[in-house]
Each structure stands twice: as structure tokens, then as C-alpha cells.
Amino acid sequence: MVSIYNPGSAEILMSPSVFVSLVILRLFPMWLHGFISMVLPSAWRGSAYGSAEHRNILSWMIEIGKDNEKQPADLAHLEVIMSLASIHTSQMNAVHVLYDLTSHPGYIEDLREEIKQVIKTDGPWMEWKKTSFSKLRLLDSFMKESQRLNPPTQLSYHRILLKNHTLNDGTILHKGSHICMPVTAIQNDEAVTSDPSLFDGFRYYKMRQREDEGHLHQFATTEATNLNFGHGKYACPGRFFAALEIKIVLVRLIMDYDFKLKDGQTRPANLFAHEFIFPNPDGEFLVKRRRVEERLLLI
């Protein structure tokens, strides 16, 4: 597989470049996309590094894919989905949680105490197993509440109908129609979430205290009223890895650093592009390393 490659920054810059390119391309009609893509800044930067032979997931997909799965458009679609799902959304979730922690500092000590309790039962955090992170129910709840108010997109569950379909109320959806679900509107409906405008970091922790609901309402849990990871047999298969990945990052940050908004500052406002929601890249808050005896590795 021959590809344009910048060994110094390709892995880091790929996701942001794709999103910027996506937003720009959607401003133009489809028939112009081929031309516009050639004049994007990311294309100029990539061409400066020439071509090289590389073994990667794209070459693997070409080797094992069926004939109808090897078209350039199909391969590009699959690779973008995998890359964005595994990197960009997890990064955004972690940043949203940090913004919410600085905006609601009263939760931090409870989260630290929970982490300390798991260290007491499961040993040093570097030796934790997946089951150890599953014990962080307060942190899991805080992450889910942060995601509820700051989902990666307001629309999800995108589908294109392969045949006509009639809904229960008689509405006819025609073949070829593009349909999707209003994620934000559904999960923030008062019939689904009480006081939806209120940030309650332990909302889902309290829900898990109900009888027979201890395994429900987790960050990676899907349901008909929470579609951030999809639902049913097509739910995101990487959601469990994403939850673990974000927790690993947050545990270290929460235990090793103090966070505080600047005086008079409020939570950095989200940015919106089409239906997508992004944490503000220009947001600022104060960070101070905690005392040596309080940091994670020495507990």
C-alpha cells in the first residue's frame, strides 16, 4: 500500500485534520468535493512528505476484503470510522470531563476517595485489572453525566433506507431516505431525565443503587433513551475500551493534579459545527501538581 505519510505527526494530527476537512467539504456540493479536497491545507502538508511503502490497517483491509469491499470509497469510509471512533471521541470525552470537574470542583474529593478505596482493595493502580476500574462507580457516573450534556453529536444512528418503510403512525419513509435520531433531545427529555438542565455528577450512581439496576446506567451502557454509542446489535463495539481508556487518563489526572477555573471564568463554551459538538480548544483553567505524598504512584 503506497500512501502519503508524515512519520512525525500523522498519528497525532489525523483525527483533527479529518474533522476540519469534513466541515469544509460539507460547505460545498458533492460534485466539488474531489477538487476541493486537493486544495485543502492538509493535502498540501501531506504531499510534502512524498510516498512510502507501509504495512498498516488499510493494507490489511485490502488484503482480506471481499471484492465489493475494496472500492476506495468503502475503504476510506471504514478507516475513518475506526480512527475517529477510537481516538477523537475519547479525547473529546476526557476534555469535557475535565471542564466539568473544574466547573464543579465539589465532586473531586469524592472521586479521589473512591480511587483510594480501590487502591486499598486492588493494590497499586498500575497493577489494576479491568474489574478494578469497574469499581469506580462515581467516576463512571460523572463521565456519563458529562457525556449527556456534551455528546459528540446531536444526531446519531444514521441510516439510509434500502426499501420503503411505514411507521406505526402511518408515516411512510421512502427508499433512499437518510434518517437519524436526535440524541440530545431524546436523552434530555424530562420524561427520560429529571431536571435535565441540572448537572448532577452522581445522577447515574444513584440510579444504580435501585434494586436490580446495579449493572445498568453505566458509561458504556446503551438503551433506547441513550444512543451516544448506538443501541442493539449495532452498538459501538469499542465503547468498553473507550470507557476504560478515559478512566485510566482521568484517574491519573485527578490524583496527581488540582484543577481550578480562573477567577470569574465559567466552563468553556462548546463549539458546534453542523450537528457535531466539540470541547472548546481555547478553554483554559489552572492546573497545579499536588504534593508528592498525595500523588497516585505513592499511595
Per-residue pLDDT tens over the stretch 160-177: 999 999 999 999 999 999
Alpha-carbon dihedral angle through residues 81, 86, 89, 90, given to the nearest 10 degrees: 170
Q: State the cell numbers at 264.
A: 470569574
How crowded is residue 145: how many other Cβ atoms within 10 Å of its Cβ?
24
Residues annotated within a binding site: 236
Measure the CA–CA gap between 238 and 87, rounded to whole angstroms: 11
Pairing of strands 286-289, 257-260: antiparallel
- Best CA proximity match to 185, nearest among 145, 153, 160: 153
Average pLDDT over residues 247-252: 96
Domain 90-298 CATH class label: mainly alpha
Average pLDDT over residues 200-225: 95
How crowded is residue 265: how many other Cβ atoms within 10 Å of its Cβ?
14
Q: How far is CA 97 from CA 31, 201, 218, in A?
A: 39, 10, 15
Three-class secondary structure of residue 189 per DSSP? coil
- The H or E element spanning position 109 is helix 108-122
Q: State the cell numbers at 83.
A: 480512527
pLDDT one-digit tens code per residue, 9-43: 444 455 566 777 778 888 888 888 888 878 887 66
Residues 179/206, Cβ–Cβ less than 8 Å? no
Task: Look at the block and give the residue holding cell 493494507.
Answer: 59
How crowded is residue 142: how many other Cβ atoms within 10 Å of its Cβ?
29
Measure the CA–CA gap between 75 and 71, rounded to whole angstroms: 6
Average pLDDT over residues 194-212: 97
How crowded is residue 243: how many other Cβ atoms within 10 Å of its Cβ?
23
- The H or E element spanning position 80 is helix 72-83
- Say yes or no to pLDDT of 195 above 50: yes
Of 35-49, 119-133, 187-201, 244-258, the poorest mean pLDDT is in 35-49
Residues annotated within a binding site for heme: 236
Summary mean pLDDT of the chain:
88
Question: Residue 46 has what pLDDT?
Answer: 61
Give the gyration radius of the chain's Cα atoms. Answer: 22
pLDDT > 70: what percent of the chain? 88
Residue boundaries of the structural domains of the chain:
90-298
- Say yes or no to pLDDT of 88 above 60: yes
Alpha-carbon dihedral angle through residues 57, 61, 64, 70, given to the nearest 10 degrees: -160
- Say yes or no to pLDDT of 220 above 80: yes
Measure the CA–CA gap between 152 and 96, rounded to whole angstroms: 10
Name the phi and psi angles at 97, rounded to 5: -65, -40
